Structures are given as structure tokens and as C-alpha cells.
Amino acid sequence: MPSTKGSFAMGKARAAAPKRTDTKLKSKSAGASKKPAKKAGKDPNKPKRPASAFFVFMEDFREKYKKEHPNNKSVAAVGKAGGDKWKSLSEAEKAPYVAKAEKRKVEYNKNIQAYNKRLAEGPNGADEEESDKSKSEVNDDDEDEDESGEGVGKSTLIMRVFETLKASNPNLKIQGFYTSEVRQGSERVGFQVVTLDGRTAPLASTISSPESFRWPNVGKYKVNVASFESLALPELQVKEDTDLFIIDEVGKMELYSSSFFPAVLKVLESNIPLLASVPIPKFGRDIPGVARLKNHPGATIFTLSPSNRDAVKEEIYLQLVDLLSKQ
């Protein structure tokens, strides 16, 4: 049975960092694909996971803070003030937000069941394969899997943190990417890399092609290094106006790129906050590059499980807000 844990590393360069593995330095990938990346399609009708009590509180707090401080547009200021206020509340004062979050969770469970049922039935009795695909996509919201087979919702958590930060400050400049599954029916046939603005490119696949025979293997998957580099590497270019980098994940597939880890190191040297996910080692030992990042001065490591997702999301959000306030 696959593990249900994953890790996050976050921090600030020189005294911080997330994850990634060793590879040799190479400035550009040979033969990187020049095809334009496709936009990732999302079903606007799919119910979103409900907010935790803390984020329900933040919804109200943001509005009050904006009214009291109309000229303050800083996401760091709002987030820090909200985090401090939340920590100062008693359990009784938090209770209304906990109750509201529980109510939303009940409503979400009802809606997701109805959504799954509609997808299974299809508009006019869609075939079984399509319904299986739809159900698997819904399940990915709760337990997205990485290339090692870990399903715990790391990518979903990262995107929720990203969305909350952007909601607090739409002008926040965040760069990076995440990885998601590619499925045919109910079967996972590969992974793709997705930028934060929705562009996609293949990362790995079980489907053979004439070119794939020369590609490296991770288990049953063939890794398309050139495709990955063509989309991911530009997202890791350090710019003066970048506020935060997000990398999901730093794993074995990504590290087949000889240019990837050097790019991550440049991010770490830039003094720009970074949020990244790393895999839990299967046999007790981290990939060398992952170990190097986890041991980087200033890095904070979170181990994610289904039972602590909401708490970890809140903690990551608060720590990022604190880092952004020190920029």
C-alpha cells in the first residue's frame, strides 16, 4: 500500500529552503520542446474543499482589516495581523468559526457526493470509463498522488495556500509549478507539470513513443526531461519583483534534469521565500539533493498526513506571511 505522507520544506534563501535533488550543472536543455504549453482544464462545477476554521476566520478578518486600514495593501500585514489575532482567541471565541467550518464540511460532503453521482451517470448515460475518470479526478482533490505513489493532497494543499495568498493580495508575484496526474479512464498513465497560471507540459508517461526509448525511467514511467525543462526552468528564473517561489515537487523525475537543481539553488541564494514539496524516503534515506535542501539553514520541514492537512496548511500560510513581511 502506498504511503500517505509527504513533506514540505519552506524558508528564505541563505537561511532557508525547500527541496530538490542533485544533478550536474548545465545551462540549457538540448532540444527542449518549443511547442506552446496547453492550459489545464478545470471543471468550474467541481465543489472545492471547504476552508478550515482559521481560514473562515480570515475571511471575516480580511474585510474588517481592509476597512480599518484602507491604504494598506500588504498581504504580509493582513496575514500577520490575522494570525496573531487568531492565536490570541480563546477556544470559546474560536467556536463560531469552528462551527461554520464544520457546517461547510457537511455541505461539501453532500455536494461532492452529488457531483460524483452526476459524473458517474453522465449527461445522457456517459460510458463507464468516463465516469471512472471523473471520479478519480474528484478523488485527486483529497489525495493527489506524486510520482512515487504517495497520495496525501500535497499539491492540493499548495494550491490552497497559493489561492489564499493571492486572494489577500492579487498583486503578489508568485512563480513556480506543481505536478499532477494524467489519466486515461481510471488508469494513471503519467504526470504533467503545471505552472501557476495553468500552462501544462508532459513530465512522464507509460505510453511509449519512438523518442521515449531514450528517456530515463522512474518505475514504469518514462521521463520527458526536455518537456519538463521547457516549462519549469523559466518559472524558476529569479526576478527582482518576485515575492515567492512554489515548487511541487522536488522528486526523482524532476531531478533527471541537469539544470533543475542548479536553478533551485539560485532561488535559494536569491533571498526570496520558497515553498516546495519533497517525497518521504521509501527506504529510510533521502535522495542526496532532497537531503541537502532539508538540511539547508533556515528550512522548516512539515510532514503531511490526511489527519493534519488543515493544521499544516494554516501553519505554512502563517509562516509564509511572516517571511513575506520581512522582505
Q: How confident is the model at residue 247 (pLDDT cuts 50, 70, 90)?
A: very high
Least confident stretch, 26-35, 228-237, 249-258: 26-35
Q: Position of cell 531514450? A: 214
DSSP 65-94: HHHH-TT---HHHHHHHHHHHHHHS-HHHH
Predicted local distance difference test score (pLDDT) of residue 6 = 53
Predicted local distance difference test score (pLDDT) of residue 285 = 81
- Residues 52-98 have pLDDT tens digits of 888 888 888 878 877 888 877 666 677 778 888 888 888 888 787 87
User: Alpha-carbon distance 203 to 99, whole Å?
Assistant: 42
DSSP 226-293: HHHHHHHHHHT---TT--EEEE----TTGGGSTTHHHHHHHHHHTT--EEEEEPPPTTS---HHHHHH
Least confident stretch, 36-45, 199-208, 314-323: 36-45
Domain parsing of the chain, residue ranges: 6-321
User: Alpha-carbon distance 114 to 280, whole Å?
Assistant: 34
Q: How confident is the model at residue 212 (pLDDT cuts 50, 70, 90)?
A: confident
Task: Enumerate the β-bridge partners of residue 193.
Answer: 179, 201
Predicted local distance difference test score (pLDDT) of residue 139 = 37
Helix axes 53-68, 75-88, angle to 10 degrees: 120
Q: Which residue, 245, 31, 52, 252, is CA-closest to 158?
A: 245
- Using alpha carbons, list the distances in angstroms from residue 158 to 7, 152, 154, 193, 312: 11, 12, 6, 14, 11
- Residues 176-204 have pLDDT tens digits of 999 988 988 888 899 999 999 999 999 99
CA 58 to the chain's CA centroid: 21
Predicted local distance difference test score (pLDDT) of residue 26 = 28
The number of C-alpha atoms within 13 Å of 305 and in the hemisphere containing its C-beta is: 4
**Which ranges of 50-186 would DSSP assign to H, the alpha helix?**
53-68, 75-88, 91-121, 128-142, 154-168
Q: Which residues of 151-161 are buried (b: 16+ CB within 10 A; e: fewer)?
A: bbbbbbbbbbb
Class of 6-321 per CATH?
Answer: alpha beta
Question: Measured at the alpha carbon of residue 245, what is the angle toward residues 35 and 312, in degrees to the nearest 5?
Answer: 120
What is the overall mean pLDDT for the chain? Answer: 75
Q: Please give the average per-residue pLDDT across 96-101, as a whole number.
A: 78
- Using alpha carbons, list the distances in angstroms from residue 293 to 64, 258, 262: 39, 16, 12
Q: How confident is the model at residue 259 (pLDDT cuts 50, 70, 90)?
A: very high
Q: Please give the average per-residue pLDDT across 228-253, as a whole number.
A: 93
Predicted local distance difference test score (pLDDT) of residue 126 = 40
Interacting residues of 95 by C-beta distance below 8 A, sequence separation 6+: none
User: Alpha-carbon distance 279 to 277, whole Å?
Assistant: 7
